[in-house]
């Protein structure tokens, strides 16, 4: 037990304090949030080139969470996109569905996803490009895949920041503890990250001349 401290300003005497013996201690981490990191065996050049070709075909893009000169595509669904337009990305999307079903099986959730349960879009950020704080409403899981990440970025640049969204963020004792309310990861090429859609997130800018490319999935 931590040492008991007597505060003269609060009580007259500490003579009646008696330390109680802790017979047993059981600690549980409740309300745990699952976060999955799948390293895929994939021809990443195909995925990267399809992303760049799509930006060339539709240079205007859309303006949503992307700022600082970043480009973002429209949202595509497997049931609506031409099969020969981005076959590599579409295959990746189908695999994201299967891996999501694997997660559901792990939690013994009977519901199953199919190819109509996923939509995806592309983010391409050059130096100074970033994505502001946002969530993905209207789905159950989100996926993020990185075909391209700049090399030799400065510490903290281009990181994906995941944010806790419950009231613990306003608790004076816990809010400032490392990784308690905000968790940052350095994205890796060839990795697919899947998490609950309730996790708010943002991406910091990087200051490299290289391009950072990500594909976001709304699943379920």
User: 102 phi and psi, to 5 degrees?
Assistant: -60, -40
Look up the domain containing 147 and give its range: 36-219
Question: Mean pLDDT across the stretch 159-166?
Answer: 84
pLDDT tens per residue across span 51-92: 999 999 999 888 777 666 788 999 998 877 777 789 999 999
Residue 20: inside a domain, yes or no? Answer: no
pLDDT band at residue 6 under the 50/70/90 scheme: low
Residue 75: inside a domain, yes or no? Answer: yes
CA distance 37 to 145: 10
pLDDT of 1 strictly over 60:
no
Tally of structural domains, the chain: 1
Question: Mean pLDDT across the stretch 204-209?
Answer: 77
CA distance 67 to 62: 11
pLDDT of 189 reads: 94
pLDDT of 150 reads: 84
Q: Which residue has 């579409």 as its token pair? A: 90
Residue 117: inside a domain, yes or no? Answer: yes
CATH of the domain at 158: 2.60.120.620
pLDDT tens per residue across span 168-196: 777 778 777 777 778 888 899 999 999 99
Question: Mean pLDDT across the stretch 26-42?
Answer: 92
CA distance 78 to 80: 6
pLDDT tens per residue across span 128-160: 766 777 788 889 999 999 999 888 777 767 788
pLDDT of 94 reads: 95
pLDDT band at residue 7 under the 50/70/90 scheme: low
Which stretches within 22-139 are classed as H helix? 44-57, 87-106
pTM above 0.75, yes or no: yes
Token couple for 37: 């990191």
pLDDT of 48 reads: 96
CA 60 to chain CA mean position, Å: 26
DSSP class of residue 29 equals -
Number of Cα atoms under 13 Å in the Cβ half of residue 167: 0
pLDDT of 12 reads: 60
CB 83 within 8 A of CB 90: yes
Residue 1: inside a domain, yes or no? Answer: no
Question: Mean pLDDT across the stretch 30-40?
Answer: 92
DSSP class of residue 62 equals B
Residue 164: inside a domain, yes or no? Answer: yes
Q: What does pLDDT average to over the chain?
A: 85
Residue 119: inside a domain, yes or no? Answer: yes
CB 121 within 8 A of CB 65: no
Residue 30: inside a domain, yes or no? Answer: no
CA dist list (Å): 142 to 132, 204, 210: 16, 19, 26
Residue 18: inside a domain, yes or no? Answer: no
């Amino acid at each position: 037990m931590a040492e008991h401290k007597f505060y003269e300003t609060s009580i007259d005497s500490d003579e009646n304090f008696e330390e109680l013996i802790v017979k047993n201690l059981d600690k549980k981490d409740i309300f745990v949030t699952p976060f999955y990191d799948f390293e895929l065996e994939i021809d990443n050049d195909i995925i990267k080139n399809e992303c760049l070709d799509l930006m060339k075909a539709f240079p205007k893009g859309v303006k949503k969470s992307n700022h600082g000169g970043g480009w973002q595509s429209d949202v595509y669904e497997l049931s609506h996109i031409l099969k020969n337009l981005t076959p590599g990305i579409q295959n990746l999307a189908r695999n994201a569905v299967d891996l999501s079903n694997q997660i559901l099986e792990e939690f013994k959730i009977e519901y199953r996803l199919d190819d109509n349960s996923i939509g995806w879009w592309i983010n391409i950020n050059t130096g100074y490009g970033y994505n502001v704080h946002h969530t993905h409403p209207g789905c159950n899981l989100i996926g993020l895949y990185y075909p391209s990440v700049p090399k030799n970025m400065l510490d903290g640049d281009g990181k994906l920041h995941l944010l806790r969204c419950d009231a613990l963020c306003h608790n004076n004792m816990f809010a400032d503890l490392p990784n308690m309310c905000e968790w940052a990861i350095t994205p890796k090429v060839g990795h697919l990250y899947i998490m609950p859609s309730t996790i708010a997130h943002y991406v910091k800018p990087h200051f490299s001349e290289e391009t950072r490319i990500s594909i976001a999935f709304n699943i379920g």
